[in-house]
Amino acid sequence: MSAEKRLITVYGATGTQGGAVVRSLLTNPSFRVRGTTRNPSSEKAKALAALGVEVVQAEGFDAESMKNAFEGSWGVFVNTDSNDLVSKPSP
């Protein structure tokens, strides 16, 4: 009897870092991969879906979409942009 695959959700799966993590996880038969993106209709998102990734729409500044994206995950990969002006405190 085989164990159920663990779900890993990758935040920003169509980006450089997230995409690399997705491709690495896809080589491991122990995991199912869910990828978040702001635009599931993009060519990059469609390419991930064709590889077997569950692509879901999520926006980092929308708590409800993030909660839904991470629902049922065994683990998550999140890489944020520390240079984004939104994440810097006001002087």
Sheet of 31-37: strand order equals 54-57, 31-37, 6-10, 75-77
Distance separating alpha carbons of residues 81 and 13, to the nearest angstrom: 14
- Tell me which of 3.90.180.10, 3.40.50.720, 3.30.450.40, 1.10.357.10 is the CATH number of domain 6-79: 3.40.50.720
Q: Assess whether pLDDT exceeds 60 at residue 62.
A: yes
Q: What is the pLDDT of residues 21-58, one digit of tens each?
A: 999 999 999 999 999 999 999 999 999 999 999 999 99
> Could you tell me whether strands 31-37 and 6-10 are parallel, antiparallel, or unpaired per DSSP bridges?
parallel
Q: Assess whether pLDDT exceeds 60 at residue 14.
A: yes
Q: Assess whether pLDDT exceeds 90 at residue 3.
A: no
Query: What was the pLDDT predicted at 27?
Result: 97
Q: Kindly list the domain boundaries of the chain, sorted by start residue.
A: 6-79
Distance separating alpha carbons of residues 33 and 75, to the nearest angstrom: 10
Burial 20-34 (b: 16+ CB within 10 A, else e): ebbeebeeeeebbbb
